[in-house]
A and B are shown apart, each in its own frame.
Chain A
Amino acid sequence: MMSRQKNQNYKGHGLPKGKEREQRASIRFKTTLMNTLMDVLHHRPGWVEVKDEGEWDFYWCDVSWLRENFDHTYMDEHVRISHFRNHYELTRKNYMVKNLKRFRKQLEREAGKLEAAKCDFFPKTFEMPCEYHLFVEEFRKNPGITWIMKPVARSQGKGIFLFRRLKDIMDWKKDTRSSDDQKDDIPVESYVAQRYIENPYLIGGRKFDLRVYVLVMSYMPLRAWLYRDGFARFSNTRFTLNSIDDQYVHLTNVAVQKTSPDYHPKKGCKWMLQRFRQYLASKHGPEAVETLFSDMDNIFIRSLQSVQKVIISDKHCFELYGYDILIDQDLKPWLLEVNASPSLTASSQEDYELKTSLLEDTLHVVDMEARLTGREKRVGGFDLMWNDGPVSREDGAHDLSGMGNFVTNTHLGCVNDRKKQLRQLFRSLQGQKKTPN
């Protein structure tokens, strides 16, 4: 049994005590996903796949399985599963918006308008059809702007359209209701109407969004890690507001781009975040970039805080989120959505390396092998971003943004020398094991 050192100054990142920390001879894993995850799981020393009804220690499940089985599945203390039961509070667009609005109100009550304003990173959004009248009010206040209608539960860009006239929604409303007599019918799926960001930051005349990975190990207390790598996904066509019917222009999801007539698979249409960060620095200088990335940290933390009390923080659960962020021309980041099941399929060699590294490091943090002490601030490409409070950067870098955001221990888009760091980490862990205090 591995004893855990007590350290008054550092809370540790919540590794469980006692029996679960025994090292297991082998770890039985289950997953239905293929591609990179399968490769990573199969290559992990001591991990064996179980199929069908076998007992498992680790399950990377999909959300439909979770919905049907989680509530009546017994899990031993050491067992881990890759989703939180009600993750949709964060990942379904209508719930996320509701939670964020509520959190913002609460912040305003408790800490004032300025603090609440830090939550203004999601474009004005209304649930349809229940907030239709509120939406119309906002719509009338801002004539001529563009809105985007998104289904709450679908992904990969399906079902999304842009509009500028109420007439377009009238038509849509008519389509979703069979007749006026059936007012009580609930539409097959709900939508949100969101203010469309008309001035996105463009590179090479193209629109893009950022995919960032956040790993949450628990909600109560909140413990979240931020991955250094990610990418910018470019739209294949040049941005213009003239053709709002052309979904290829506006939607940057790779899944949609793949069906665009211009799509050439060799291109990949992605930039690694390091390249994006350098590009911005050469154009706007390092301070502006620091501010932008610090504003993004703010998005991650506050979005998680907004659902902290709502999500059932089962200790068996962890979750790897894919955040979609849009940057506008004023270098302000906007949260588009949070994905509970970010795509793990690789679109290129570089993408393959990114995703396998991401998954390997996720498994390192989950630590089924019981190697970590719990006091680590960095594991491979993951930096501990929030540990029931802000986590400081070790080197005490100055707060360049000067905006009073937390100077978190985050290095998004920075050098990711994960292999070296992991070597050093595991070597020192080995050393500590041999000489227990």
Chain B
Amino acid sequence: MTLTVLRSTGQGSWERRILKSLNSMCTELSIPLARKRPVGEQKELLNKWNEMGTDEPVLDLSLFRPVYAPKDFLEVLINLRNPNYENGDSHSFRTHLGLIQVPLKVKDIPELKEFFVELGLTAGQLGVDDSTQVPPELFENEHVRIGQKVLSEQDSAAAQQYIRQGSPTALRAELWALILNISSQPEDILYYEQLKTNVIQHDLLVDSLIYKDVKLTASNDDYYFVFEDYLYQVLLCFSRDTSVLGHFAYSSASPPKSYIRGKLGLEEYAVFYPPNGVIPFHGFSMYVAPLCFLYHEPSKLYQIFREMYVRFFFRLHSISSHPSGIVSLCLLFETLLQTYLPQLFYHLREIGAQPLRISFKWMVRAFSGYLATDQLLLLWDRILGYNSLEILAVLAAAVFAFRAVNLMEVTSLAAAEAVLADLSTLKVMPLLQIFLFATVT
């Protein structure tokens, strides 16, 4: 299964659809995709930069629809087919009863155990071995000491290895910055300030989408509402950041293009729209929200988010054959469930509750907004440590395994959703350990 095939069949048509939706919104509402702000408006925005959350948006936000929501994206993924698929290929795949019909290679549990060896039962973990009953001398104290050493030596590779066992709360911000190679140089701060100037001077249609998304998701969250202003500051700048276009080189996606009025199809009049090539979808701001817990200086917060996006998050909403791409994650999740919890899988399928329909939204958002913040950060520690998003699929399967008893008793999709509605009490690391290392397979 190659990148190019997926690009032409899946990603391409998906992109055209998104663009069409954006353009039609633009036409319906008679709002330009971009416009320069009058000086008075610029001054006002500059004054209110730190409290954009309190502003009444200029336009009526109810007029805007998110360009798409995760469930729309799921429908696209379900309909992906590989035209090169031959019947002789992948015998086991023919018995795959999940929603994803693209035969990508995914790891099985023995392979996952090897890949995630540091999560094994014989190694200490933050998220498990720092609970109140465990004396800190057994693991936590030493682990903190090693973390401090790694930081003092500024060893990025060591940090990445270290963080597989979790990061102490006090060291996490620095460790992530070290792993992501973010150091706030004057030129970085300057770059951020330039983006900010860009926001002040020009108003983009996507800004309204960003406002709407923040208001609908992060502002309504019990914990992230506090950071509303930071989210605007980060996301508005993000949408103007053309350096983000660089990630498209290794993505199967291509940035949406817009043409100057009247010059449709003429490449010299094409601009990327929005400038960073990323159209936010419903829930996008939740990628940023947890980071506000760690970083308080706007330009640093911005850099961390941008790096997280171009390394990881973009894979969650674009179609590719990459093992950390959302298609592979969906397939990994379904395969794990069907192989190791077949009774549960068949039962849910029977009652019209395909498991992926429930777990998809968790994975697309990397569980942000679903788990308690401290658990989420422990999970994202491992994403950084293993440089892979596969852990999201494993966790999703582990959650189903954990609630299997209740799920076996439900008789409808709605009831299954209800059983899995609240993940805020879950402890991520024990769940993962039990699923990978303590279940008889």
Residues of A within 8 A of B (CB): 203-206, 234, 237-238, 262, 264, 266-271, 275, 278-279, 281-286, 348, 350, 414-415, 417
Contact = CB atoms under 8 A, between A and B. Distances in A.
Interface string B208-249: 000000000001101101111110000000000000000000
Contacts of B292: 204
B170 interface: yes
Contacts of B373: 275, 278
A264 B214 CA distance: 14
Contacts of B172: 282
A435 to B, nearest CB: 27
B169 interface: yes
A206 B229 CA distance: 10
Contact of B50 (A205, A269, A286): A205
B51 interface: yes
Contacts of A417: 132
Interface string B284-303: 00000000111010000000
Given A203-B226, A279-B293, A282-B169, 12 more contacts: A204-B292, A205-B229, A234-B226, A262-B54, A264-B220, A267-B219, A267-B222, A268-B225, A269-B225, A271-B223, A278-B374, A350-B222
B308 interface: no
Of the listed residues B50, B169, B172, B219, the one surrounded by the most CB atoms of chain A closer than 10 A to its CB is B169
Nearest to B226: A204
B173 interface: yes
B215 to A, nearest CB: 9
B50 A264 contact: no
7 contacts: A237-B54, A262-B54, A271-B222, A281-B170, A282-B173, A348-B222, A417-B132
A238 B54 contact: yes
Contacts of B220: 264, 266-267
B178 to A, nearest CB: 16
B254 to A, nearest CB: 36
Contact of A281 (B54, B132, B169, B225): B169
Contacts of A415: 132
B226 A286 contact: no
A272 B54 CA distance: 23
Given A283-B296, A348-B222, A204 B169 contact: no
A270 B221 CA distance: 11
B170 A204 contact: no
Contacts of B223: 271, 275
B294 A282 contact: yes
Interface in B340-381: 373-374
Given A204-B292, A286-B170, A267 B54 contact: no
A238 B170 contact: no
Contacts of A237: 51, 54
A203 B51 CA distance: 13
A225 B393 CA distance: 44
